[in-house]
Chain A
Amino acid sequence: MLDSTFTSALAALVPPSALLTEAEDTRPYECDGLTLYRELPAAVVLPENEAQVIAILKLCHAARVPVVARGAGTSLSGGSLPVASGVVLSLAKFRRIVDIDPLARTAIVEPGVRNLAISEAVAPYGLFYAPDPSSQIACSIGGNVAENAGGVHCLKYGLTVHNVRKVRAVLITGDVVEFGADALDAPGYDLLALITGSEGLLAVITQITVKLLPKPALAQVALAAFDDIGKAGAAVGNVIAAGIIPGGLEMMDRDATRAVEQFVHAGYPLDAAAVLLIEADGTPVEVAAEMAEIIDVLTASGATQIRVSADEAQRLLYWSGRKAAFPAVGRISPDYYCIDGTIPRAALPGVLMQIETWSREYGLPCANVFHAGDGNLHPLILFDANKPGDRERTVEFGDRILELCINVGGTITGEHGVGVEKIRGMCAQFAPEALERFLGIKQAFDAHGLLNPGKAVPTLARCAEFGRMHVHHGALPHPELPRF
């Protein structure tokens, strides 16, 4: 608990309504999108301007009180899980789109702005913001930067780190620093890349300059069915190896398409072992040329059926199933574990077949729905926590998948972040030499370890098993939101 001197000092910094200390008020902040972990914070503070953020951080720094920054609370790795003895600093009131510069194709926004709100605001200029995590109608841009969020279109347009030009942030000491530049390149160390994906451990973001892209004149999606998951995996590699970088390249296996079809009726072929969704975007001439090439590659890769969206409504329908896959799976299984391992594309067929084999061995169905073009897997292991032994076997199954991902040269998390849930997996992926550099960087920014302690980077002493996400009874907060 916080001592009363600290609490009254904190109360003096913000209006009374912006400080929550009663359990009934702080309860909504006890977890984020990863509900397995919960912790009630000692206080929640909701500043409305940068001066207040500076004052709050200075106070916490002086009193050595931990601070957890929070955006929309949609993290899937527990990135904004509170610390019991600490303060949650919510940026929900930082909701302004400060400036749009269509000529430079940039927008300056506050961290609490929703991802999709940026694209909506710049649409009149024919522009859009490319990274599109499936939770984009709810998640905030500040959280996107903190987690280096991805999405369906990241294959072609890059992750958050590729689409942010400048970040203004406050250090735990209260100093304001700008990372990056308005120009294409900033000199010196690439602190912008360092802050992107730092999961709130280095600074609190107060303003972001994002890059905008011209909206393609046309987008078309091809839906291809395969009678074998290995063939579908190989087709992904063949598309990329042909030098085509599609706007999106996603895969769903039979378990996933069946779950989704009952939910959204997108017209997916239910007899297929796997379905690929491949998008071409650009000018009509480019789209026509790219789509023709894509169809050739898919045919040569053994697709049993290929359909191309005839119009925008059909394109959105094909995508709707993909975007709703997680809630759909939540409907058919009491529980599921989601894994975020990412592998080199060429390893896809082997890894997918191995997952299928293990799924049979463990007697646990596993729905695969994921960013295939990036090699970013999202296996959903379906289980029933009330059935004795199910949970343990699921854990073991998940561990083996992540171990396999690392062994084929991949990573334990492609886009959801380490947060609290995968922190042990960090030790499997990184050698002590690399972990020491991480700790050195943290030390340079936050010597007392006050920002988001216990997340993202493990101490060398803390190395054990892999982590994973656990959703009980499909109990994601706001299950209606599309995710992943």
Chain B
Amino acid sequence: MAISVWLLGGPVASVRVRAPAMRTRTKYSKKMVIKNRLGFHVRPVQRFAELAGIFRSSIEVEIDGQRVSGKSMLGLVSLGGRCGSVMRITAMGEDARQAMGVLSYLVDQNFFVEDDLDKEKYPDRHITRLVTFASCFDSNVWVVCRGKKINVRDNEGLLSLGLRPTSRVEFLAEGLDSMQARQVLDTLASYQFYVEDEMGARARQKAD
């Protein structure tokens, strides 16, 4: 971006300002344990690869000395991660921190696989997922639903929206990582926030 400096009615200098933050190459690495009963099967892998694919950074996953791209379903399935396997996620690039935030939350939450989840206990898990994903980004993020626009940091406002996993929502984001933030949240909403009963219900309607 070029900024001209004016003095006594005329330009005297032109200063080039570098865009901050997102230009910096960074590397983040984290070891995590796969906790879900069926291991790193297709559902976890699909969710991981799709979210990883949103980021510009390179993302690698290593299990038992075998390392593959975190954006490739085929590569990730070939790791054969089981319940208890240790995976190392490495993200390198301008949005590595944001990628690591999103992906490590996904792994920590058993990839949102709900086979063994006590669903009654977490009726608002779709909102928790939305807020946590949004908090991985520096951008300001708003949810637009039923004509209302609410900042995701506004807890009371968010609850007042009466957001359901199947609600039609739109996300607005403003900041250096707004594109990735919107894509991550759009993906989340497109899968009914990974609330699997709702995803299943939609599939049943289609199949029956």
Q: Do A and B bind each other?
A: no
Residues of A at under 8 Å CB distance from B? none
Partner-A contacts on B (CB < 8 A): none
